[in-house]
Structure 1
């Protein structure tokens, strides 16, 4: 019990990327870091001189802020693990390590006592409270050791200053910790409540669907006692009812899976790409025979990768659903080959490509489609599908990208590391 709680509540949040950080929030932090430090250098070195200021150090910290503005991978949503590590490292360097160093070098004066205290509140707001706690402790300790080894020679602090400053900083640290924990718990409760509501709604929808399925069975039984022509019509009606039920259950399963975006399982299977694609294509609940006929699977070179078989099955399913929806919206009628699912390898990496000749999308939409809760299908108002796909692919150390143009279809390429034979 204790081990499970520690894993779910403490360890996993430390290494799990944020669901959907705001791109503009990260850029705003980058702007504040990049331009704020030169401005404060001017203030503390020229307008209101402080005992210690370093232009080189300010420039170095400013460059770290600029990196948040110039590297798109650091603001991608959802973030990759590497981006989370870089983001965490940047703010560890620019907040606890830098501010603690300046605090010690300036003799713990009033300006840097206030700045160091404010840093705790900022740091706990910028990142997770667990990371902020570890970062504050390690950054302060490392800055103190560096100050003792390389810092400027300063007179002894006046009597009582150490105790006074420690009390003020402890208050700032405790308040930052309490506020961060309460905010984290509130966000988690809101997320759990939303996911629970989605699960209840999905479960409740299955009850009327089961009734519709029974009506379909009853119509099929009645068809056996009717004239051949009327019986055939009733059989078609029963088939349509059952197809509708299968499709709706399929949609419910998909939404429940998508609702687990924050709670993907950590176990990994050895997955055969060709078998995965064939299983997804065969199990998809097509609305018509023509819709099934337009799907073509081509295996140029099979490969194996490590990931969750069940989740990747849902990924292919989501891509098929989007492609078929795009084909249905096209002005031309779909035919064989209009939806191609290709399995191949390229440059030592495995690729699964889902390519359609549907309506495509304009460049503006291409930059947004992997954002949670965004959708190009305004009728559904739901856009978790592709965010879920990206998260699953990233969990297997892969990438997913799209090429598309208006009226020219779309091509989604999943690229994955190949297991050695």
Structure 2
């Protein structure tokens, strides 16, 4: 809390002397107190040097922060409002201080306790300064408005804070999803480059200026290039699909067209990032009846990717197989993905 609002509080603390000139000379008010304003400024500027304090003193900074905020916001503005006979300027100023108080003190219970205590203390101080002339009863109608502002201002702040935290959580999940989904394609590319390195001579080789590739090596290189291009294409699809999962408005039905389900599913199974060849042998296609569907081939591939990823992630220690089949129902065609434990 201190690291987030410390510089803002110090900037706000410098405004206390400035507004003394505003309300004393530019727009004169019945009551002003330069010494109280300087006290508020000094209490805030103590936090400007918080990074230079010893660890022993830093332990008390959160408590000091609450005391300083109580002095500079509810206490100061309520006291000045009472001393100026509830003038419109100071009623509005106190309302403004409520919103600032909500923003700077995140703990709801502490904020309400602080507000109640400081308002009572400001009333007692104003009574001792002004005496029986303190006009309080005639303006009690303002108190429910102030309470309403505190309660609902805090509720709206809490809602916005929750939405912000939800967005941050989504962003973290999004980043983790990209990291996880891109790990397998990058591993495949790395393996391809290692094979290419074993075929192509290095710069320190004795025949680096003249080297002939045989037909088999050329075929291997072409296959690696083709596989690498497929991996890069799959990686781009993965990024698009992750973006789609974050923002559903990105899914446009205008791009939907007819696809053959068997071809799309076969492509998804072949292009999935298996850790090794043995994993790929665990997946079998049993699509005897092909069918057409209207939609996105990329989204269907993403569904197959997710199901395969979850199946391998929670595989356990036993042996299992994954079958992908199609079935015609009364409502149309269905794609069935089933994992079952294989018998020894």
State TM-score, norm by structure 1. 0.38
Larger Cα-atom Rg: 2
Higher helix proportion: 2
